[in-house]
Amino acid sequence: MGGEGDGVAAGPIYAPFTLPGERVRLAGRGERRELVEVLQASPERVAPPCPHFGACGGCALQHWEHGAYLAWKVERLRTTLARQHVETELLPAFAAQPRTRRRLALHARQGSKTAARLGYKARKSWSLVEVSACEIADPRLVAAFPALARLAAPLFEHPKSAPTLHVTLTAAGLDVDISGVERKSGGLSADARLRLAEAAAEADLARVTLDGEIAYLARQPTVRFGQASVALPAGGFLQATPQAEAAMTAFVTAEAAGAKRIADLYCGAGTFTFPLAGIAPVLAADGAGEAVRALTAAIATAPGLKAITAEARDLVRRPVLAEELKKVDCVVFDPPRAGAAEQAAEIARSDVARAIGVSCNPATFARDARTLIDAGFALERVLPVDQFLWSAHMELIGVFSR
């Protein structure tokens, strides 16, 4: 299997929706081919549960038996670490279940006057695949598809508009942040904004924003991190499934137990900050100012925790220095896909005894792990996290100690 979930034959030739050991008939030229027919199926092949699988570009691996699929992803993680000469214990993986994802990016295209066409992009294409079902999404999101199609109908005043609805299921209901609406011509007219608000009210949405600007607000979307109730910033980051968030939080807090002072770097709105503050005082930092302000405001909702000090800070240009970590004995860092190269260098230079790295990109994690290991840390163990079901994407949490 190739890195994107395509089967690989000699050549190399890459073919989607194929499995190791199969004999297949392909169409096309060059390295990238298309599957025409499976002549001899793998015993690991299963019937995909979604009627849109194969056309929709959202899932790549629904045709693979779950145990074999998960073992492949864990082995890929091991291989990625090995490229940086990193070896460690890989714990049993956390595996997301179907129908649990609480946030989706739905693409909209012009349809009728009352409803847009709504769905996901086709595989390796800008074409839209309209969907009526989604096996990864929480059923409450799927039930809202018709209402979201009506919500998107007023967004096409400009021919260059290609809206994406970033939909998040929160405690207050659905929160929708819309991007991709052409703004050079002045943005949506007053009439279109009124129609948008009417559709949002009819659907009983909590909030609708246009690139973060409020277009409709019935209730403030909130999420719960530990004991805190956090007002979610428009378009704010959340772990994809609440079950994965709970498993990751439990693992991080268990590994941080006994710390006297903790730094939570790339803290977002406080996913780990508030649970960690049940252990020790926390220094929290992130480059997203809106997220840090939401975290700070939520401190008052969680009495009884240890002190939390939060700072909006670009951790690439201005990482927390080794000298600032003098009183910290445990660092948690959860960077974006680009990793934490600059911050890892400061952790390596510090006297911190323990570091816990949360990563959505094993390649950049392996690079940063090499920095820490070369400075005297040992990577004790890694928890693989398969949060993006039926994709080639894998996350992880690594535990380092000196």
Q: Is residue 164 a part of any domain in this protein?
A: yes
Residues 210 and 331 in one domain: no
Which class for 82: exposed (0-12), middle (13-18), buried (19 or more C-beta within 10 A)? exposed
Nearest-5° angle of CA 248, CA 254, CA 260? 120
Residues 215 and 256 in one domain: no
Q: Which helix (H) or strand (E) holds 140?
A: helix 139-143
Q: Is residue 328 a part of any domain in this protein?
A: yes
Q: Is residue 92 a part of any domain in this protein?
A: yes
Q: pTM, whole model, 2 decimals?
A: 0.94
**Residue 303: closest CA among 193, 234, 229, 359:** 229
Residues 265 and 390 in one domain: yes
CATH of residue 337: 3.40.50.150
Residues 142 and 193 in one domain: yes
Residues 33 and 111 in one domain: no
Last residue of a domain, one of 222, 251, 273: 222
pLDDT at 235: 87
Residue 395 CA to residue 7 CA, distance in Å, equals 22
Residues 298 and 373 in one domain: yes
What does pLDDT average to in each consecutive run of 10 residues of the chain (402 residues)? 93 96 96 96 98 94 98 97 96 98 97 96 90 97 98 93 96 96 84 97 98 96 96 93 98 98 98 98 97 98 96 97 97 97 98 98 98 98 97 97 96
Residues 82 and 107 in one domain: no
pLDDT at 341: 98
DSSP structure string for 301-354: GSTTSPPEEEEE--TTTSPPPGGGGTT-SEEEE---TT--HHHHHHHHHS--SE
Residue 226 CA to residue 246 CA, distance in Å, equals 9
pLDDT at 186: 74
pLDDT at 197: 97
Q: Is residue 394 a part of any domain in this protein?
A: yes
Q: Is residue 189 a part of any domain in this protein?
A: yes
Residues 244 and 392 in one domain: yes
CATH of residue 130: 2.40.50.1070
Q: Which helix (H) or strand (E) holds 401?
A: strand 395-401
Among the listed residues 50, 134, 330, 360, the single catalytic one is 360
Q: Which residues contact 256 (CB under 8 A, 6 or more apart)?
A: 262, 276, 279, 280, 330, 332, 354, 356
Q: Is residue 351 a part of any domain in this protein?
A: yes
Domain with 160, as residue range(s), is 103-222
Which class for 192: exposed (0-12), middle (13-18), buried (19 or more C-beta within 10 A)? middle
Unique residue bearing structure tokens 């590994």: 255
Q: Is residue 243 a part of any domain in this protein?
A: yes
Backbone angles phi, psi at 342, to 5 degrees: -70, -40
Q: Is residue 142 a part of any domain in this protein?
A: yes
Residues 15 and 152 in one domain: no
Q: Which residues contact 357 (CB under 8 A, 6 or more apart)?
A: 333, 334, 340, 365, 368, 369, 397, 398, 400
As given in the structure block, the two tokens for residue 244 are 């994965």
Residue 300 CA to residue 278 CA, distance in Å, equals 14
Domain count, the chain: 3
Residues 165 and 83 in one domain: no
Residues 109 and 88 in one domain: no
Cis preceding-peptide flag for 362 (omega within 30 of 0): no
Active site residue 267: no
C-beta neighbour count of 286 within 10 angstroms: 26
Residues 129 and 26 in one domain: no
